[in-house]
Chains A and B, each alone.
Chain A
């Protein structure tokens, strides 16, 4: 019986994995397909036009990719720095208007940032932040903060304050406590929040476009015209690069954090 169950279970599991992974193969095939008319099961001709264009320095795709990675990493770091205290306060402290503050912080999840971006654009023009890197970083924080706050708030709710109190009575100052106890304990949460924030920031198109005003050219801005114009080969190449870059960056984030707490024993299980 049990054997049977596990067989059914693994069939379902592999089916789900297949459903998730299969489109990626299509993307990879598409990026080498010179022509693939309906109803052929496989492309008629293969070609390297997409890869060549992407790697060609005159297309500036690589520099856009680097710019995007740098931008999203910056946004990730800033978001985490801002949201750690915010999430802790929301999870552990009682204060007046807590519900309203929480709602406002999470509001960008409900109200699309695009809706407020127009107003922000005007303000940024006045402040001289439009068409600048800093401006784009700031506007990316808008959709990123709610995700990070949500994840870290749950983490703080689980870990609580007890460990920090213990550190304090053992003679650690508030800052020492934060560095030596709080950060290591919430590390798994930081990795997941950081990964999600990176992806959210990395896939922003409209906000970057509006606030960057074409001066800050990120990877999605190269990619979108191809998707829109229906150049499937190019769109597929860019999508594959997009996915690979994200995976590599997430790996780097996790490896860096893990190496920092090299014991590998940082998972907090209560």
Chain B
């Protein structure tokens, strides 16, 4: 249980700036996701925290003390890598006890801990198996057990679920979160999967081009993104240009009342699920033509052309429209997010 503080961290490889002035505070026992596309510096951040890399500038604190001068093996920050990296020449028990053996813990204690860890990850009786005899999910669990066996201060997960198939991924995700909640170990999860980040984390840091664009709770990030780039991480959105005048948002889609008063050009972001499509009933509403329909089982994705604006809509399967149908478009502007001067 340790608070992690990253202070003004920068890191370059050659001429390429990988991390640019990163500032994050991760509370005790929290699970925080670093979300971003590949190459945005997520894994580099983990390696800096673990000590495999040194930052060019800035400081990393565990609790109140800087750890930059503590060598990797003494930091107590364990990374679980994407491809598990079980030692192929050691069996499951030897893999799990590796860290303890290196720390010269005596044998009886080691065996006890191995037993406890394998029980925790529900792999009792697998002690004598070798990594090549295990399935993906089992390898993953051994890797987690091995990391937790040394009772680290910080657990760093580097895209731990991306090599698993869909069903297994979900159950492993729940499983790891359960363990994390039980042990209350400060955890950082690196991922490029928005759903994974939203569902698992106490907080999410969205990273782009080596910078943290927004840091907050999943609901904050989803509902109040600070920029279109951050918003785009959580699915496709509609952006409607217009301007605000006397508390009204004026655009091609008509005039609506907003809470904002400033006079400026803005872009309104509207989520697909905030647009409702119904049979045309009265002449007041915006009428559009259905352009495309994508059926996804439990929901349907539409694009609708209305007043020369293309709108992406997401709706349930109760009412279905076909390409070319005339529909009335009801936009819920209460949930819209306005970005000022983004073009």
Contact = CB atoms under 8 A, between A and B. Distances in A.
A228 interface: no
B79 A171 contact: no
Contacts of B79: 165-166, 169
Given A263-B130, A269-B132, A170 B89 contact: no
A167 B89 CA distance: 13
B319 to A, nearest CB: 52
Nearest to A166: B85
B58 interface: no
Interface in A144-178: 162-163, 165-173, 176
B103 interface: yes
Contacts of A180: 98, 102
Interface string B182-211: 000000000000000000000000000000
A169 B47 CA distance: 9
A193 B225 CA distance: 57
B88 interface: yes
A171 B88 contact: no
B72 A267 contact: no
A169 B102 contact: no
A168 B74 CA distance: 9
A220 interface: no
Interface in A237-252: none
Contacts of A184: 87, 89
Interface in B85-139: 85, 87-91, 98-99, 102-103, 130, 132
Given A162-B85, A170-B146, A176 B102 contact: yes
A263 B91 CA distance: 9
A165 B150 contact: no
A171 B70 CA distance: 12
B52 interface: yes
A165 B50 CA distance: 10
Given A170-B99, A171-B102, A185-B89, A165 B130 contact: no
B88 A169 contact: no
B146 A169 contact: no
Interface string B54-83: 000000000000000001111111110101
A261 interface: yes
A169 B103 CA distance: 12
B73 A165 contact: no
A2 B52 CA distance: 53
B147 interface: yes
A262 B81 CA distance: 27
B162 to A, nearest CB: 15
A10 B157 CA distance: 50
Would you call the interface of chain A mostly helix, strand, loop, or mixed?
helix
B91 A171 contact: no
A266 to B, nearest CB: 4
A116 B167 CA distance: 65
B81 A170 contact: no
Nearest to B79: A169
Contact of B89 (A165, A173, A266): A266
B50 A167 contact: no
A109 interface: no
A169 B50 contact: yes
A171 B89 contact: no
Given A165-B52, A176-B102, A263-B130, A170 B88 contact: no
A265 B74 CA distance: 30
Contacts of A173: 71, 73, 102
A168 B52 contact: yes
A269 B88 contact: yes
Contact of A167 (B75, B91, B98, B130): B98
22 contacts: A162-B81, A162-B85, A163-B85, A163-B87, A165-B47, A165-B52, A166-B85, A167-B98, A168-B73, A169-B52, A169-B79, A170-B150, A171-B73, A171-B74, A171-B102, A171-B150, A172-B73, A184-B87, A187-B89, A265-B89, A268-B89, A269-B88
Interface of B: 47, 50-52, 71-79, 81, 83, 85, 87-91, 98-99, 102-103, 130, 132, 146-147, 150
Given A184-B89, A268-B89, 16 more contacts: A165-B47, A165-B52, A165-B79, A168-B72, A169-B73, A169-B75, A169-B79, A171-B103, A172-B98, A172-B99, A176-B102, A187-B89, A263-B90, A265-B130, A266-B89, A269-B88
A-B pairs, 10 with minimum CB distance? A170-B99, A184-B89, A172-B102, A166-B85, A266-B89, A168-B72, A171-B99, A171-B73, A171-B102, A169-B50
